[in-house]
Amino acid sequence: MTRVRPGLPRWLKRNVPKGNGNHFTARLIDELGLATVCEHAKCPNRMECYAQKTATFMILGEVCTRRCGFCSVRKGKTQPPDPAEPQRVADAARRLGLKHVVITCVTRDDLPDGGAAHYVKTIEAVRAATGATIEVLPSDFAGNREAVKQVVAARPEVYNHNTETVPRLFPTVRG
């Protein structure tokens, strides 16, 4: 018996957005040498967000120190945080005209504070350049509560979180 796979539901099928927003956003991110989780995690909604001139900025480099099996972000040896990155994120947010800026990061278990100080600098730069509300999605800072307090003290409007998954649940998450 041949098994027939049902087609995708209509609500899941979307056309690629047309217009200059896609290209403007992609070019700006490239020009400023920024990383987005949209690109590095292979988000299927990337073009929709770019068409709206928005993106989730990914700070602290493009390489993660963890090897989560469900994540598309590259893992391996990291570089020191780029001291100019906070200002470039702020510049991108300003040029995109963002009213709400979302900042996430790769996990940096190689840094004593997990990158918390870099996060604070990025929040401060974005706030000074835009006046936008700021949402952060930091790593778990390897359980370092002082690092969490440092980011909270920078007063982002939203402190969100990425849910880490234990290896035994990877098959369920990837489902």
Question: Which residues make Cβ contacts (< 8 Å) with residue 64, sequence separation at least 6?
Answer: 71, 73, 74, 75, 78, 106, 107, 108
Q: Tell me the pLDDT tens digit for each residue of 93-130.
A: 999 999 999 999 998 999 999 999 999 999 999 999 99
Please tell me the pTM assigned to this model: 0.81
Sequence length of the chain is 175
Q: Tell me the pLDDT tens digit for each residue of 23-70.
A: 888 899 999 999 998 887 777 777 888 887 788 999 999 988 887 766
User: What is the average per-residue pLDDT within 155-161?
Assistant: 92
| CATH of the domain spanning 60-174, picked from 3.10.20, 3.40.1350, 3.10.450, 3.40.50 | 3.40.50
